[in-house]
């Protein structure tokens, strides 16, 4: 039986601090928070390329709502770190226009929920202009900020936009998990000639992850469109991204005590999606579960399951593909309900056991079955 989770935020930080994280080298040199890794990436890219600038609400004199841009205004000044009014449609439009003109703006949304105010610029201007101009007008803009559930901020501040934006051709969509992900992927996003939606996680900002000497170097960049196998295993493939990666890894640790070895794949990139890594893993394990914090319908897990069904990977499966997702409801404000609306390690563990046994998940296995979706 899966253990009950501790209160959301403190439990998360405690579990994260206990766990050993995978890095690009076996020996890590120092722990770095996700917040500081993002700050390093911005600082290094602004120092490297004078066309890179940051704009958004409170990013300059206040050092950012989440302190991701700490110290950058003092270092680079008003022309490259720009405080904007509270008008997402306005400053997102400025960012896209600046990209049209050859600059490399990094546009921060205080939360991606507010990007809905600017979605016309993101989709119709940023994502489509390179195609509509027959390749004459590249749009090297990055839209970044916290995405998905935080804690106690209710329905209008808790949506995951991974599926929303990865639906749109012309955008690249990244969802980092660790500090290494955050730094390497943000630097790649800033250098990329296409518009990139960069989905961070507020809960992970203050979490330290070990970073290798390679990852701490100024020239460290991760490739866009390449997943990372966070944990190797031979019994079942668990595919996830962002905060869901921690949920999957916790479940994998629990299941390892039962002799079940999960191969946990951190997607890193939602579009382009590294299906080759998923397919290789499924060919080895013959089972797959996807984990995401977003809603189930038309979600990332649904896309992965569809690709498995439409490819030779289908013939590798010994049981149906399963999804573990957020509940199909607006995010509740009450903490007890908020906890139930998000996937937890016991939910993932129950899904894994059910897939390996090729049976339905029982109510005794986990909390209400609406959390799991075939």
Q: Is 140 exposed, middle or buried, given 0-12, 13-18 or 19+ CB atoms closer than 10 A?
A: buried
| 157 classed as catalytic | yes
DSSP symbol at 260: -
Active-site option among 44, 45, 157, 316:
157
Kindly provide the residue ranges of all beta strands, DSSP E only, lying in the chain, ordered along the sequence. 30-33, 52-56, 81-83, 104-108, 142-146, 172-174, 196-200, 208-211, 228-231, 236-240, 262-266, 269-271, 288-291, 322-324, 372-373
Per DSSP, the residues of 52-98 read: EEEEETT-STT--TTSTTTTHHHHH-TTTEEE--S-HHHHHHHHHHH
Which residues are 209's β-sheet partners?
32
What are the two backbone dihedrals, phi and then psi, of residue 110, each rounded to the nearest 5 degrees?
A: -60, -30
| 45 classed as catalytic | no
Active-site option among 44, 45, 57, 88:
88
Known catalytic residues are 88, 157
């Amino acid at each position: 039986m899966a253990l009950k989770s501790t209160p959301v935020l403190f439990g998360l930080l405690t579990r994260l601090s206990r766990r050993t994280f995978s890095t690009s080298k076996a020996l890590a040199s120092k722990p770095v928070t996700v917040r500081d890794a993002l700050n390093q990436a911005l600082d290094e890219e602004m120092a490297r390329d004078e066309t890179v600038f940051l704009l958004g609400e409170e990013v300059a004199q206040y050092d950012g709502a989440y302190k991701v841009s700490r110290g950058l205004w003092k270092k680079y000044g008003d022309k490259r770190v720009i405080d904007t009014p509270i008008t997402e449609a306005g400053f997102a439009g400025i960012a896209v226009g600046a990209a049209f003109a050859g600059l490399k703006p990094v546009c921060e949304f205080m939360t991606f929920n507010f990007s809905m105010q600017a979605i016309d610029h993101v989709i119709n201007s940023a994502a489509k202009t390179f195609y509509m101009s027959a390749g004459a007008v590249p749009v090297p803009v990055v839209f970044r900020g916290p995405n998905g559930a935080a804690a106690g901020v209710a329905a209008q501040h808790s949506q995951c936009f991974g599926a929303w934006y990865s639906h749109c051709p012309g955008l690249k969509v990244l969802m980092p998990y660790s500090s290494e992900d955050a730094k390497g992927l943000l630097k790649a996003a800033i250098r990329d000639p296409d518009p990139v939606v960069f989905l961070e996680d507020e809960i992970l900002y203050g979490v330290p992850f070990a970073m290798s000497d390679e990852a701490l170097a100024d020239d460290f960049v991760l490739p866009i469109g390449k997943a990372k196998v966070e944990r190797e295993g031979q019994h079942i493939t668990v595919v996830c991204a962002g905060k869901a990666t921690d949920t999957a890894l916790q479940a994998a640790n629990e299941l390892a005590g039962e002799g079940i070895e999960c191969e946990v794949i951190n997607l890193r990139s939602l579009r382009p999606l590294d299906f080759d890594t998923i397919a290789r893993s499924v060919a080895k394990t013959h089972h797959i579960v996807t984990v995401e914090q977003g809603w189930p319908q038309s979600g990332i897990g649904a896309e992965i399951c569809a690709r498995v069904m439409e490819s030779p990977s289908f013939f590798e499966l010994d049981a149906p593909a399963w999804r573990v997702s957020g509940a199909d409801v607006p995010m509740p404000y009450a903490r007890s309900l908020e906890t139930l609306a998000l996937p937890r390690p016991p939910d993932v563990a129950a899904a894994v056991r059910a897939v390996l046994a090729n049976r339905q998940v029982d109510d005794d296995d986990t909390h209400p079955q609406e959390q799991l979706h075939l």
